Amino acid sequence: MPATIEHIDFHGLPALRLATASGARAVVALQGAQVLSWTPPGGVERLYLSPRACFDGRSPIRGGVPVCFPQFADLGPLQAHGFARTLPWAVVSERTGSDFALLGLGLTDSEASRALWPHAFRVELHVLVEDSRLELELEVENPGDETLEFTAALHTYLAVREVEESRIEGLHGFSYRDKTAANRVTRDSGDVLVIEAETDRVYHDVNRPVLLREYDRSLGINADGFPDVVVWNPWVERSAAIPDLPEGGFRHMLCIEAAAARQPVQLPAGEAWWGRQTLVAL
């Protein structure tokens, strides 16, 4: 059976289901071009989607892979993580092969976006499902007359069995900004990163893959174009203040995100920028 892309309803929202002959599956909502589910062959969900997530078509959806654009977090005057994750995107391409499914979704500036951010832009997110790999590529074009400045991220919520038992490898030696310590910049000196408290770090200029290990499974995480890696878990107290996260939900999620956060992207008129994150189930 060849790979397929099917238009579906997901909790009342229009979405697309990508499926391959090997058994890989993904669900992508048109709201925010947000990947909400990814199961590699074998059928184990690798993205966390909160059971309390809101699907009203206007609010951010807690989980999956929100697209943060044109602002990451609170690094600017817009609402946290920008407006792209709450707007409807359009399908611009659908391709399938013998064992891959590739979906392209697009967003352009509108009267609503220009009221918040007075700039012309075109953004596309390409989602590729192939065997045990999920690849997300974000491309930003500047069709305007002036340089465009923005920050961005693929805010990836990974599903973990127990976050305290997870191990993150590959960040040794890189400097990071620690939001839980008044944004102090520190150099990571440990062989592995273990989540034992609230964690909110932006690692700078990461130039090698990251590996998430848990028990008998691992996940390879690689970024191209995105210079930074964000690691976030709200832990007990912060989690209790997040209404769309269930009690204890923080124990089963861990965000490892490809980002352009430390330095805003400067995109000249008529040019394009891209960043890619690839997840490989091992």
Find tokens 């909110």 and name the residue: 200
CA atoms in the 13 A half-sphere facing the CB of 151: 24
Question: Could you give the CA distance from residue 247 to residue 240 in angstroms, rounded to a whole number?
Answer: 7
- Residue (of 155, 113, 128, 125) closest to 30 by Cα position: 125
Which residues face 133 on adjacent strands? 130, 280
> Which domains does the chain possess?
4-281 (2.70.98.10)
Say if CB 205 and CB 225 are below 8 A apart. Answer: no
One pLDDT digit (tens) per residue for the chain, 282 residues = 789 999 999 999 999 999 999 999 999 999 999 999 999 998 899 999 999 999 999 999 999 999 999 999 998 899 999 999 999 999 999 999 989 999 999 999 999 899 999 999 999 999 999 999 999 999 999 999 999 999 999 999 999 999 999 999 999 999 999 999 999 999 999 999 999 999 999 999 999 999 999 988 999 999 999 999 999 999 999 999 999 999 999 999 999 999 999 999 999 999 999 999 999 999
